[in-house]
Amino acid sequence: MAKILGGAPLLPVAVLAGLNLVDEFDRIAFAALAPEIRDSFAVSDGAIGTISTLSQVVILAIAIPVGRLADRHRRLTIAAVSALLWGVMSVLTGLVTTVALLVVVRILAGIGRNANEIVHPSVITDLYPPDAQPRAFQIHRMANPAGQISGVIAGFIASLFSWQAAFIVLSLPTFVLLIMLRWLVEEPPRRDPDGRAARGSPVRFTEAFGFLISIDSIKRFMATAFFLGGATTTAFVLISLFFEDIHNYGPIGRGLVQFVLGAGWFIGVIAGGQLAARRVAELRYERMVVDVAIGLSFIAVGSAALVVSPNPAVSLAATFLAASGNGIWQAGYFSAVGRIVPGHLTGQAFGYTTLFFGLGSIATIPLFFLPNERLGFVGVTVFGAIATFFAFTVSKVIRADLDRCLDPG
């Protein structure tokens, strides 16, 4: 592993991957148990979908401040505080008794989880050399699909005890990993794309935004993130409601659906990481971005198949396809962003793309209120197709942007 990571140690990214894994427990449990939570609080499908989406909407409030903090302060401290927040809020999800309190704890849990999408990539970019970054991101992002096993665990605990117990039990590993982060991982120095110590200094967020949108690739990645956020955030919640309403699946069955989703996602992350590592070794960054776009196209095609699916077997195959696409794009995307942005701005770069992801999540909230989930997946298909288009356009400009960042003079 050390050789694969360019001689850099495995432990730091393994701990970050562990935290990425346990933050998925909270999100996936909420998706898998959405019908039970809905019935417990006597709300509609639209309401429970909106509550789930709110944990993504908080990106609008935190993305830029967290990105700015990550560019100015110790990123591992921010990561630890974020993990503590979502761990506590996951416990409280199983304890609150009113809809208002449920909304509050889900928003706070979302703040903790979403901070990871900004802070962890910035840390990994500085921890590992460019040729090792695709593999490092592969390890980190493999935690997301691996977390889908919590859907099965959550369904099993809910069937034996209650949905509330599932959240409490699944929160416990977070606190163990917090100790490991504190004692076993050191803050890396900030580096520019050429590998040297970051030469820039922190700037006001308006200046940072102006510089970032002057990079064509980042501007197009922001557009990609908007439509990707709308597609994936909605799909992950709709999928449980789809299998309940269309195929009459209970909590254990829906947990198994989450497992199938996780299996596709896991295979996609492995394939995407292998492809990204090969493209970086060959210095074919344009092709790496095309691979990202191909992965996004799988999300659109899988969602379209769910719209017309005649039986559970086809629905499961479509779920697997869409999930694999959601894995393929990740290593290439994070490697590309980290490669073309100066070291003193990586936090804000990931912050802005995460912000647009959250805006896309808001745009698709109306899909939860359509008469049935098939119509919702029509919207997911459209958003996935547009995300694919914008990702393809990045391949046309990334070479010029990379050359400019490596030789700004």
Q: Which has the closest alpha carbon to 122: 256, 26, 16?
A: 16
pLDDT score at 57: 66
pLDDT score at 316: 94
Neighbours of 74 (CB within 10 A): 11
Please tell me what DSSP assigns to residue 33.
Answer: T
For the ranges 91-105, 196-210, 233-247, 254-268, the lowest mean pLDDT is seen at 196-210
pLDDT score at 315: 94
For the ranges 69-73, 77-81, 198-202, 316-320, the lowest mean pLDDT is seen at 198-202
Amino acid identity, position 363 = A
Q: Which has the closest alpha carbon to 127: 262, 9, 302?
A: 9
Instruction: Please report which confidence band the pLDDT of residue 295 belongs to, taking 50, 70 and 90 as the band edges.
Output: very high
Residue ranges per structural domain of the chain: 11-182+205-406
For the ranges 76-80, 85-89, 109-113, 371-375, the lowest mean pLDDT is seen at 109-113
pLDDT score at 60: 66
d(CA 85, CA 345): 25
pLDDT score at 264: 92
Q: Are 161 and 145 in contact (CB under 8 A)?
A: no
Instruction: Please report which confidence band the pLDDT of residue 35 belongs to, taking 50, 70 and 90 as the band edges.
Output: confident
d(CA 361, CA 230): 4
d(CA 159, CA 143): 25
d(CA 98, CA 40): 10
Per residue in 44-59, pLDDT tens?
777 777 777 666 666 6
pLDDT score at 213: 84
Per residue in 370-408, pLDDT tens?
888 899 999 999 999 999 999 999 999 998 888 776 544
For the ranges 66-70, 202-206, 296-300, 388-392, the lowest mean pLDDT is seen at 202-206
The full DSSP string for 332-371 is HHHHHHHHHS-GGGHHHHHHHHHHHHHHHHHHTGGGGGSS
Rounded to the nearest integer, the mean pLDDT of the chain is 83
d(CA 328, CA 14): 20
Residue 320 or 1, more confident: 320
Q: Which has the closest alpha carbon to 109: 70, 52, 68?
A: 52
pLDDT score at 406: 54
Q: Are 299 and 325 in contact (CB under 8 A)?
A: yes
**Under CATH, domain 11-182+205-406 is a member of which superfamily?**
MFS general substrate transporter like domains (1.20.1250.20)
Which whole number is the average pLDDT over 134-146? 84
N- to C-terminal Cα distance for the chain? 36
Q: Are 145 and 272 in contact (CB under 8 A)?
A: no
Per residue in 93-136, pLDDT tens?
888 888 888 888 888 888 877 777 788 888 888 888 877 888 88
Q: Is the pLDDT of residue 260 over 50?
A: yes
d(CA 386, CA 231): 10
- Tokens representing 274? 């292998």
Largest CA distance in the chain: 64
Q: Is the pLDDT of residue 13 over 80?
A: yes
pLDDT score at 202: 60
Q: Which has the closest alpha carbon to 181: 250, 262, 123, 122?
A: 123
Radius of gyration of the chain (CA): 20
pLDDT score at 409: 41
How many secondary structure helices (H) and strands (E) does the chain include?
Answer: 17, 0
Amino acid identity, position 383 = F
pLDDT score at 341: 82
Q: Is the pLDDT of residue 291 over 80?
A: yes
